[in-house]
Amino acid sequence: MAEEDGAEAAGEEGEAPKKKSKLPLILGVILMLGGGGGAFFATFSGMLGGGADAHGEEEHAEEMVAGPLEPVAFVPLEPIIIAMRADGRSAHLRFRAELEVAPGKQEEVTLLMPRILDVLNTYLRAVDVAEIERPSALMSLRAQMLRRIQIVTGEGRVRDLLVTEFVVN
């Protein structure tokens, strides 16, 4: 009976059921676009952080002038090739580097080159292939080699070890 009353009511009016208004959907889209545009403007103009720093760096870059470089000298090391064995396979390590030395100390460091090469060969032969193949291995190996070189050459001569080639194949 209730079904008949509902059918009669719809039939009596003679109109189709009312469609929902699209006004909330349109307002939502407009507010979304306005909010997105406002957020873009705020970020781009620097109101939210990123843009202000970028513009500030440009202004400071004009004010900063690079000072003179500290005196520096380099002594190249002869290439070192080391045969390695691990897990039944053979590999070769090709190592090349330069020593950053205090100015005026190049001759002293060059005089000690046989000792430096001996220390590097001995150390690199003792290192396991698995250790060398780690992604972060070069940093620790470099620090270990530099410390050994500084012990051989004495304090104040070698500042840094610059690795120019480190290939395992």
Whether the pLDDT of residue 15 is over 80: the answer is no
The partner residues of 91 in beta bridges, in order of sequence, read 84
Task: Report the pLDDT value the prediction gives residue 52, as an integer from 0 to 100.
Answer: 46
Q: How many residues does the chain have?
A: 169
Query: Which element (helix H / strand E) includes 99?
Result: strand 89-101
CATH value at residue 119:
3.30.479
- What is the rounded average pLDDT for all residues in the chain? 84
Q: For the chain, what is the domain count?
A: 2
Q: Are 96 and 164 in the same domain? A: yes
Question: Does residue 11 fall inside a structural domain?
Answer: no
Closest C-alpha among 71, 91, 95, 75 to residue 83? 91
Q: How far apart are CA 50 and CA 116, in angstroms?
A: 49
Q: Are 59 and 78 in the same domain? A: no
Mean predicted confidence (pLDDT) in 5-9:
52
Please give the DSSP secondary-structure letter assigned to residue 87. Answer: T
**Residues 28-71: tens digit of each pLDDT:** 999 999 888 888 888 878 777 654 455 555 555 567 788 898 88
Whether the pLDDT of residue 13 is over 70: the answer is no
Domain range for 62: 20-67
Closest C-alpha among 142, 134, 140, 139 to residue 168? 134
Q: Are 81 and 103 in the same domain? A: yes
Q: Are 110 and 153 in the same domain? A: yes
**Residues 79-104: tens digit of each pLDDT:** 999 998 877 778 899 999 999 999 99
CA distances from 82 to 32, 94, 108 (A): 64, 7, 26
**Residues 138-166: tens digit of each pLDDT:** 999 999 999 999 999 998 999 999 999 99
Which tokens go with 58? 């440009």
